[in-house]
Amino acid sequence: MKVVLLGPPGAGKGTQAARIAEYLNVPSVASGDLFRDHQKRDTELGRLARSYMQRGVLVPDEVTISMVTEWIETEAGDGGFLLDGFPRTLGQAEALDGALSNADGLDRVLYIRVANDELVRRLTGRLVCRECGVTFHRVSNPPPADGACGDCDGGELYEREDDRPEAVGKRLEVYFSETAPLIDYYREAGILREVDGEQSIEDVGQELVEKLGGAS
């Protein structure tokens, strides 16, 4: 199955991606994680991406599209994939359709819906593991008491640079102008399924898995 996770910053895409990928037995990738990995390795692409991400705006389509389509070609194989955070412009969606045109296209777009005030709460309390990328939240999903990651071997937790209040406001603005139009784009294609993201992490995951199949 070829699946996309769509939703505003802080909706819980990263939190749910591992579970869905495991359920489907497909590789998954977050475009944001690919960019953060380039930054860690201090590549040219990483330095370019950082200049946009820091400000909470999107990295230009051309570099983003070639990075993700290359990942699909080299990592995804024939069994499908899960994409988190790509596409997020109409240009990216059309490029993805083009890249998949001889493979039946996407099967599902799972849209995680969360209201703005809750998104701000989630982003401002988020902690991310530097080693394995797993996400915690100071209040709703706290890490182990010693403040280290409980998922890998005690990796260090940090706050993302773009979770500062100024960048969060900008990211939400950019989401509504650039990415929200994809909801209708995929609804018209008949592959969009909407999930209420303001339930427990467990219940959101359950509903996402249910919406992978079935007609509604």
Residues that bind ligand AP5 (CB under 6 A): 7, 9-15, 30-32, 35, 52-53, 56, 58-59, 64, 85-86, 88, 92, 122-123, 125-126, 135-137, 140-141, 162, 171, 200-201, 204
Active-site residue identified among 2, 88, 108, 193: 88
Active-site residue identified among 19, 113, 121, 160: 160
Query: What is the Cα–Cα distance from 129 to 148, expressed in whole angstroms?
Result: 8
Q: How far is the CB of 158 from Mg ion (least distance, A)?
A: 14
Site string for Mg ion, 13-32 (x = CB under 5 A): -x------------------
Q: Output 24 or 128, the one with its CB closest to Mg ion.
A: 128
Q: Output 39 or 94, the one with its CB closest to Mg ion.
A: 39
Q: For residues 135-154, which are near Zn ion according to CB under 5 A?
A: 149, 151-152
Tell me the backbone φ, ψ of residue 204, rounded to 5 degrees: -60, -45
Q: How far is the CB of 189 from ligand AP5 (least distance, A)?
A: 18
Q: How far is the CB of 30 from Mg ion (least distance, A)?
A: 5
Q: Is 126 a catalytic residue?
A: yes
Question: Which residues are known catalytic residues?
Answer: 13, 88, 126, 160, 171
What does the binding site for Mg ion look like in residue numbers (CB under 5 A)?
14
